[in-house]
């Protein structure tokens, strides 16, 4: 049974978020309605299940997110067109009180997600997502619960991960 959300309703599980992004990615009319900009990402806010925050996002060739996490939110994303590469850390990082960490060997993961493929993730999942194509746009659908309270952005040099900034919803909405 899902955990209660802050408003008393049932919070969506990561499986439900993944099901939502997969179904939404199959909506070809919605995906085609997203304007594609050759210079930067574009996005459209969607209504996600159970009060979750959802986005349809376009990725021009060579664009990416940089290293980041979604704080206390769980999430899922699916590629609706093209392909995206996800680099992630298989390690639970401390949530507060640090600026620089040296990562252990063996924590790096990567996966290539083609059209129709996606993944779900838990709280504090640190990753970066890239469209490594030199020619094709990619489009993806993302959902987060609870709605993103913040995004922490990191820089990475070798095994050193550094917290660079914390963004709040007013920074991206």
pLDDT in 10s for each residue of the chain, 173 residues: 344 454 456 899 999 999 999 999 999 999 999 999 999 999 999 999 999 999 999 999 999 999 999 989 999 999 999 999 999 999 888 777 889 999 999 999 999 999 999 999 999 899 999 999 999 999 999 999 999 999 999 999 999 999 999 999 888 76
The whole-angstrom separation of Cα 62 and Cα 129 is: 11
In what order do the strands lie in the sheet containing 74-81? 42-47, 53-59, 138-145, 74-81, 118-121
- What string of H, E and C letters represents the secondary structure of 86-130? EEEECCCCCCCCCCEEECCCCCEEEEEEECCCEEEECCCCCEEEE
Residue given tokens 């997969």 in the structure block: 22
| pLDDT in the model for residue 12 | 96
């Amino acid at each position: 049974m899902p955990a209660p959300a802050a408003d008393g309703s049932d919070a969506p599980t990561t499986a439900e978020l993944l099901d939502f992004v997969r179904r939404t990615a199959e909506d070809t009319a919605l995906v085609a309605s997203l304007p594609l900009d050759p210079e930067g990402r574009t996005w459209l806010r969607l209504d996600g299940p159970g009060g979750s925050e959802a986005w349809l996002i376009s990725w021009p060739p060579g664009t990416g997110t940089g290293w980041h996490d979604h704080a206390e939110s769980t999430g899922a994303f699916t590629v609706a067109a093209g392909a995206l590469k996800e680099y992630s850390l298989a390690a639970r990082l401390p949530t507060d009180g640090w600026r620089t960490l040296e990562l252990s060997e063996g924590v790096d993961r990567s996966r290539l997600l083609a059209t129709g493929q996606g993944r779900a993730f838990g709280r504090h999942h640190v990753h970066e997502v890239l469209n490594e194509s030199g020619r094709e746009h990619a489009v993806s659908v993302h959902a987060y619960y609870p709605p993103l309270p913040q995004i922490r952005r990191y820089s990475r040099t070798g095994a050193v991960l550094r917290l660079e900034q914390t963004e709040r919803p007013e920074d991206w909405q």
